[in-house]
Copies of this chain bind each other. A is one copy, B any other.
Amino acid sequence: MQLYNYYRSSASFRVRIALALKGLGYDYQPVHLVRNEQLSADYSALSAQRLVPLLVDGDATVSQSLAIIEYLDETHPQPPLLPADALGRARVRSLALDIACEIHPLNNLRVLRYLVKDLGVNEDAKNGWYRHWVEGGLEAVERRLAADAATGTFCHGDQPGLADCVLVPQIFNAQRFDCQIDQLPTITRIFQACMALPAFQAAEPSACPDAET
């Protein structure tokens, strides 16, 4: 398998965690988003959306991080990243989507660029925008996790899964942009439990071949 990704892309980071949790090896194909390599003719031929991550598995090409992780979970079921019951799966998917749809899309590189270049937003207002969506979005996730007995050592029970693959990269982003996360004790506890595992450590941005200091 080949994974086209960028060390600092949190959607890429989600997939790297899933691959590591399943113990699957892959060729790391860097696509430098800041240099706009995703818009090159070569990459556009592979990815109609011109986005990372992209997984190539033999003849199959799969895009969108959550779809890639579900695909990996179906084609390599052990260890499972989704619960066995429909309601548990719905809970895990909805936690993942609380981050993937409500927080992360607002803070993508291309969105921040549009704010600055097209709307003339200054640096302070741009950072305020970033923190607004991250802090409010993570507080909603915290309320869910703190109130639900289905939360365990990890987002769902005592094994890491899809929701953890999505939560951890969002916390890395939050830290990088100095977001306030002290008010999130359940998320902080789960983040620490994840980062104690070798699979999460191996997937983190600083461990990537294309990492920049």
Contacts and interface: CB of A to CB of B under 8 A. Distances in A.
A87 B62 contact: yes
Given A66-B93, A67-B91, 17 more contacts: A48-B140, A48-B147, A49-B98, A49-B140, A49-B141, A62-B87, A63-B94, A63-B98, A64-B97, A68-B94, A74-B86, A102-B105, A114-B129, A118-B125, A118-B128, A118-B129, A119-B119
A121 B125 CA distance: 12
A129 B117 CA distance: 12
What copy number does this chain have within its complex? 2
A75 B90 CA distance: 11
A196 interface: no
A80 B33 CA distance: 37
A143 interface: yes
Contacts of A89: 70-71, 74
6 contacts: A62-B90, A63-B94, A67-B97, A71-B86, A71-B87, A71-B89
Interface string A131-151: 010000000110110010000
A50 interface: yes
Interface of A: 48-51, 60, 62-64, 66-68, 70-71, 74-75, 86-87, 89-91, 93-94, 97-98, 100-102, 104-106, 111, 114-115, 118-119, 121, 125, 128-129, 132, 140-141, 143-144, 147
A90 B91 CA distance: 19
A14 to B, nearest CB: 12
A93 B67 contact: yes
Contacts of A104: 101
